């Protein structure tokens, strides 16, 4: 029997993914009760409050690190969509990982406890960063003129990809939370869905290299700001698959509406080969869309967590209810360009 009932609580609800999901839930069901819960710590998240209010989403200022804040919600949730996170793969390197661990893991535990007490369904936005860095970089590849490519016929990383090895502190906290969710399912019957997302992108994403590299790439071309290819010899050939935020929203709405079909499994959710770009290819598209050429520099700097190629094999999630992506790389970047042209340039840029 489906556990889905109102209200839907979106943690990290003023962030990029959380705000889009909360608004999409209201647009699908204008009378639905949706609560966005956020501590507004991440710079720029406060800019989403007006959008949430206009959509009829109830905003609650609070922190998942504090159980008392969750206990103070106006009513127990029927579904928790867990989007809150310290999302940077560089988090914790060169400093203390305390905020990262207390938010992504301890805060996630607090949300699980809320779900257990309320009998709520639990949907986690996890990450492709749960997969070990060295194993990803050991995948056989071909170097082409504009990108690194997997061997012909290789669809990318499936949910069965080996998990032994280091994956970044960020990826570790998300994988640990995934494991805790599965334990709660076994111990308490928690209904859950886990989405391991690839590189999310779209309008309203803060254009930063640690979260929002495609928005950063487009904003730099739009504003004629400098950029650099970093890592892998400064070639710009490293590849990611892109998932436009609207395509993620369409999936999550379908998962909530058809919970019994999806629940109890982990899904890789990304753009796959069809919606993938190297940085070199992203530069060319940004030049075509904006009409601006900025001349990207090369840097041989190597950073922890750099991955040569990541492509999501989305066969499992597509097989459930026919989910398909609508955006390709050009339309994804063009949507960011239109957002910037409409006067939404992040103030930190």
Q: What is the pLDDT of residue 349?
A: 61
Contacts with 94 (C-beta within 8 Å, 6 or more apart), sequence order: none
pLDDT one-digit tens code per residue, 208-226: 656 689 999 999 999 999 9
User: Residue 215 in 3-state DSSP?
Assistant: helix
Q: What is the pLDDT of residue 144?
A: 96
Query: Domain segments of the chain: what residues?
Result: 8-341
Percent over 70 (pLDDT), the chain: 96
pLDDT band at 65 (very low <50, low <70, confident <90, very high): very high
Helix then strand then coil, in percent of the chain rounded to 5, is 40, 20, 40
pLDDT one-digit tens code per residue, 46-60: 999 999 999 999 999
Decide if pLDDT at 3 tops 80: no
Q: What CATH topology corresponds to 8-341?
A: Rossmann fold (3.40.50)
Contacts with 66 (C-beta within 8 Å, 6 or more apart), sequence order: 110
Q: What is the pLDDT of residue 313?
A: 98
Cα-based distances in Å from 342 to 30, 129, 182? 26, 33, 43
Q: What is the pLDDT of residue 30?
A: 86
> Among 61-65, 315-319, 340-344, whose mean pLDDT is lowest?
340-344
Q: What is the pLDDT of residue 1?
A: 36
Average pLDDT value over all residues in the chain: 94
pLDDT one-digit tens code per residue, 223-279: 999 999 999 999 999 999 999 999 999 999 999 999 999 999 999 999 999 999 999
Q: What are phi and psi of 82, to 5 degrees?
A: -90, 100
Q: Are 309 and 150 in contact (CB under 8 A)?
A: yes
Q: Are 211 and 88 in contact (CB under 8 A)?
A: yes
How many Å apart are CA 97 and CA 169, to the nearest integer?
8
The beta-carbon contacts of 152-156 under 8 Å, at least 24 apart in sequence, are 155/272, 155/273, 155/311, 155/313, 155/315, 156/241, 156/270, 156/272, 156/273, 156/310, 156/311, 156/312, 156/313
Q: What is the pLDDT of residue 89?
A: 80
| Angle, CA 195 vertex, CA 159 and CA 314 arms, to 5° | 50
User: Residue 181 in 3-state DSSP?
Assistant: helix
pLDDT one-digit tens code per residue, 314-331: 999 999 999 999 999 999
pLDDT one-digit tens code per residue, 13-47: 999 999 999 999 999 988 899 999 999 988 888 99
How many Å apart are CA 162 and CA 286, to the nearest integer?
35
Q: Which parts of 147-278 fold into alpha helices (H)?
A: 169-188, 213-223, 245-257, 259-262
pLDDT one-digit tens code per residue, 119-160: 999 999 999 999 999 999 999 999 999 999 999 999 999 999
pLDDT band at 347 (very low <50, low <70, confident <90, very high): low
Q: 188 is written with which tokens?
A: 């308490």
Tokens 């066969």 sit at which residue? 315
pLDDT band at 176 (very low <50, low <70, confident <90, very high): very high
User: Residue 326 in 3-state DSSP?
Assistant: coil
Q: What is the pLDDT of residue 154?
A: 95
């Amino acid at each position: 029997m489906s556990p889905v009932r109102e209200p839907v609580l979106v943690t990290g609800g003023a962030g990029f993914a959380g705000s889009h999901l909360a608004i999409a839930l209201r647009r699908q069901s204008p009378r639905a009760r949706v609560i966005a819960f956020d501590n507004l710590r991440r710079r720029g998240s406060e800019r989403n409050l007006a959008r949430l209010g206009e959509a009829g989403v109830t905003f609650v200022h609070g922190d998942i690190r504090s159980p008392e804040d969750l206990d103070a919600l106006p009513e127990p949730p029927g579904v928790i969509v867990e989007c809150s996170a310290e999302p940077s793969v560089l988090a914790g390197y060169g400093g203390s990982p305390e905020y990262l661990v207390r938010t992504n893991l301890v805060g996630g535990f607090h949300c699980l406890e809320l779900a257990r007490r309320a009998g709520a369904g639990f949907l986690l936005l996890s990450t492709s960063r749960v997969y070990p860095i060295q194993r990803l970089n050991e995948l056989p590849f071909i170097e082409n003129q504009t990108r690194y490519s997997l061997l012909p016929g290789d669809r990318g990383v499936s949910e069965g990809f080996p998990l032994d090895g280091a994956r970044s502190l960020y990826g570790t906290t998300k994988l640990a939370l995934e494991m805790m969710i599965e334990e709660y399912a076994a111990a308490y019957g928690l209904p859950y869905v886990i989405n391991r997302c690839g590189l999310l992108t779209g309008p309203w994403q803060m254009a930063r290299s640690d979260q929002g590299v495609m928005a950063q790439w487009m904003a730099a071309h739009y504003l004629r700001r400098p950029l650099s290819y970093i890592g892998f010899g400064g070639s710009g050939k490293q590849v990611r698959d892109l998932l436009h935020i609207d395509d993620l929203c369409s999936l999550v709405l379908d998962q909530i509406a058809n919970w019994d079909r999806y629940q109890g499994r982990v899904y890789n959710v990304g753009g796959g080969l069809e919606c993938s770009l190297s940085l070199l290819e992203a530069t060319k598209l940004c030049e075509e869309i904006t009409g601006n050429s900025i001349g990207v520099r090369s840097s041989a700097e190597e950073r922890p967590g750099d991955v040569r190629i990541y492509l999501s094999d989305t066969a499992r999630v597509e097989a459930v209810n026919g989910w398909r992506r609508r955006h390709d790389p050009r339309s994804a970047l063009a949507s960011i360009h239109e957002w910037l042209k409409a006067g939404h340039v992040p103030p930190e840029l």
